[in-house]
């Protein structure tokens, strides 16, 4: 079994990187919503995963006092 890659925590990233990641996730959320409505996406739970990632990013930003 291959060793698992260590995922970088959002608390370890720079605020500018977090803001960029937040914009990327919000765009992905929009595309996912469109794909679900059109019936193109089989994994309808993907939206929940993206929402959780957005919440994690916003929490990391808020803990540093950065407003998005």
Structural domain includes residue 52: yes
Q: Which domain holds residue 36?
A: 11-63
Count of domains observed in the chain: 1
Q: Alpha-carbon distance 2 to 4, whole Å?
A: 6
pLDDT tops 80 at residue 58: yes
pTM score, whole prediction: 0.80
In a domain, 1, yes or no: no
Give a yes or no: residue 2 inside a domain.
no
* pLDDT above 90 as % of the chain: 57
Would you say residue 5 lies in a domain? no
Q: Per the domain annotation, does 15 fall within a domain? A: yes
Q: Is residue 4 part of a domain?
A: no
Distance CA 8, CA 68 (A): 21
> Are 29 and 47 in contact, with CB atoms under 8 Å apart?
yes
Q: Is 6 part of any domain?
A: no
Q: From CA 29, how far away is CA 53, in angstroms rounded?
A: 10
> Which tens digit of pLDDT belongs to each residue from 32-45?
999 988 989 888 89
């Amino acid at each position: 079994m291959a060793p698992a890659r260590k995922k970088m925590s959002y608390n370890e990233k720079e605020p500018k990187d977090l803001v960029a990641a937040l914009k990327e996730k919000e765009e992905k959320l929009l595309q996912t919503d469109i794909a679900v409505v059109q019936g193109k996406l089989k994994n309808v739970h993907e939206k929940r995963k993206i929402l959780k990632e957005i919440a994690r990013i916003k929490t990391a930003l808020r803990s540093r006092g950065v407003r998005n």
